[in-house]
Amino acid sequence: MSKLSHVFALLTLMMIIPLSGQSQCKHFAKQVCKKELAPYIHNGNYNAAILTEGETAEMYKTFYSNQNYRVYICESSAMPRIHFQVLDINRNVIYDNKKNGYKMKWDFIPESSQQLIISLKVEDGENDSDGDPISGCVAIMIGIREKGENAP
Amino acid sequence: MNFRFSLLLASFAALFLVVAPGCKDAKKAEEEPSQEAVTVDSIDQQLVKDVKEVKEMFYSMPSPLEVAMILKESGETYNPELMNPLNNTSRYVTTKSRALNLGIYTTDLSYSSLYDQTQTTIDYINAAKEMAEGLGIMHAIDNKTIDRLEANVNNRDVILDIISETILASSSHFKENDREAISTIILIGGWVEGLYIATRLAEDNPTQEQINSNELIARIADQKLALNTIMKLRNKNKSNEHLASVMSDIKELQNIYDKITIETSKVVPVKDTATGVTTLKSETSITMTPEIYKQLKEKIDVIRTKFIS
């Protein structure tokens, strides 16, 4: 009987943890990440998840000809570094933040409309005080701005 | 009796342990934004190992704000008659029609805001609010949103920021509640509205030469690329009946887009050291005949009429 109640409690935990984490991720994207896009405006699409060190995520998106874009990878502060790359549809590397001091922002203008892949990996870091791998919220934010506005 | 009691106790304890700190943290994040890690430290090692093998995949469609910006950047004039009439709101009583028209009205209000049509923007955000309320997302657009919009009628940056926030509120709500299909329907509605406005603004019966040189027509053809993303999102949410119904229309559109060829040369990134902005240099060749464009325009018209009916 005691075992059953433990199983039930564990199942409840497993169901609630992702919901609680997702909700915090939404607040994180809205309260913290969005501001970092300025002077670009967030396109409004929500692409965030709880990731653990060593995990990867990818975003597929069409970017349009002659539009101004900012890609910003936003993560919780205690997380290990994030390595991100922007790839073309044939997975040729167009931008690699590792070669640019792990910068989390990248501004670009595509001359032709094309689908690009934003690929990221949470690098392995030091575990937390309990020895568990660190997890946290990671958001891929896309900023847009009108032509003719001054660059930052 | 004892078993039931211990079961209940265990559940309440679990709920308290997880939800209470979560609520506190969320409130803290709203009051004083900080970059605190969301540490999930209660899961066992096996679970962590399993989760590590999962790769998160996001497929991002153009948002209503992006769609409107593409329309504006093409240099065409503003035409409010192309927008979905405000008095249509009472027609939308189903989840599918409300989701589609939340996207449609959001593209319309984004479009009007980029042309500084503030009163129209306020009218259309009220229409979008009605759709959002019908979908049960009262917080996406509330009275505070409208008040903030009215207080900033002369500040386009703030208006665009408010629109961006409303899109984020609805997309995050549905994604975090495992209803990505509804979020996808909203974006499809907004995307089709953009296509409709674009085809109406562009030359009515363009010649091959006009097709080859007109920027707006090129952007209409480019939407073939966004269709790939829609198809991926459909595959992720196959079981949703509302999305399946919307996709039957989109599939017909795809059949026409399949006749258009887009070829892009290898991308060469060139960074402007003064601004820090990288230009992705490449050339594109679009092959589309006037006949294919005509079919495309007619199909978009039929689908949009169906969506707003």
Q: pLDDT (tens digit, 9 = 90+) per residue, A113-152?
A: 999 999 999 998 776 667 788 899 999 999 999 876 544 4
Domain membership of residue B125 (yes or no) is yes
- B96 neighbors B185 (Cβ within 8 angstroms): yes
For residue B82, how far is the Cα from the chain centroid?
Answer: 19
Closest residue, chain B, to A68 (C-alpha) = B277
Condensed to tens digits (0 to 9), the pLDDT of residues B219-251 reads 999 999 999 999 999 888 888 999 999 999 999
Domain membership of residue B11 (yes or no) is no
Q: Round to whole Å and give the CA distance between B133 and A58.
A: 32
Residues 84 through 103 of chain A touching chain B, CB cutoff 8 Å: 88, 92, 94-95
- Report the pLDDT value the prediction gives residue A78, as an integer from 0 to 100: 84
pTM: 0.82
Model ipTM? Answer: 0.83
The domain locations on chain A are 2-145
Greater pLDDT, A150 or B82: B82
Greater pLDDT, B47 or B115: B115
Q: Round to whole Å and give the CA distance between B181 and B237.
A: 6
Greater pLDDT, B165 or A13: B165
Q: Is A81 on the interface with B (CB under 8 A)?
A: no
Supply the range of the domain harboring residue B212.
Answer: 64-260+289-308
For residue A47, the tally of other CB atoms under 10 A from its CB is: 22
Residues 282 through 301 of chain B touching chain A, CB cutoff 8 Å: 282-284
Q: Round to whole Å and give the CA distance between A111 and A40.
A: 19
Is the confidence at residue B186, as pLDDT, over 90? yes
Closest residue, chain A, to B30 (C-alpha) = A31
- Report the pLDDT value the prediction gives residue A4, as an integer from 0 to 100: 55
- Dihedral angle over CA of A91, A96, A97, A100, nearest 10: -170
- B264 neighbors A111 (Cβ within 8 angstroms): no
Q: Who among A110, A115, A146 is closest to B228 (CB)?
A: A115
Domain membership of residue B6 (yes or no) is no
DSSP string, B3-72: HHHHHHHHHHHHHHHHHHHHHHHHHHHHHS---------SS-HHHHHHHHT--EEEEEPPPHHHHHHHHH
Domain membership of residue B223 (yes or no) is yes
Query: Which DSSP letter does residue B155 get?
Result: -
- Report the pLDDT value the prediction gives residue A6, as an integer from 0 to 100: 55
pLDDT band, residue A21 (cuts 50/70/90)? low
- Reading the block at residue B222, the tokens are 């480019």
Rounded to the nearest integer, the mean pLDDT of chain A is 85
Domain membership of residue B275 (yes or no) is no
Taking the alpha carbons of B152, B157, B161, B164 in that order, is the dihedral positive or negative? positive
Rounded to the nearest integer, the mean pLDDT of chain B is 85
- Report the pLDDT value the prediction gives residue B30, as an integer from 0 to 100: 38
Residue B132, CA distances (Å) to B5, B125, B212, B253 in order? 41, 10, 40, 27
Tally of structural domains, chain B:
1
Mean pLDDT of B86-106: 97
Is the confidence at residue A15, as pLDDT, over 80? no
Condensed to tens digits (0 to 9), the pLDDT of residues A52-84 reads 999 999 999 999 999 999 999 999 888 999 999
**CATH code for the structural domain at A2-145:** 2.60.120.380
- Report the pLDDT value the prediction gives residue A27, as an integer from 0 to 100: 86
- Report the pLDDT value the prediction gives residue B55, as an integer from 0 to 100: 59
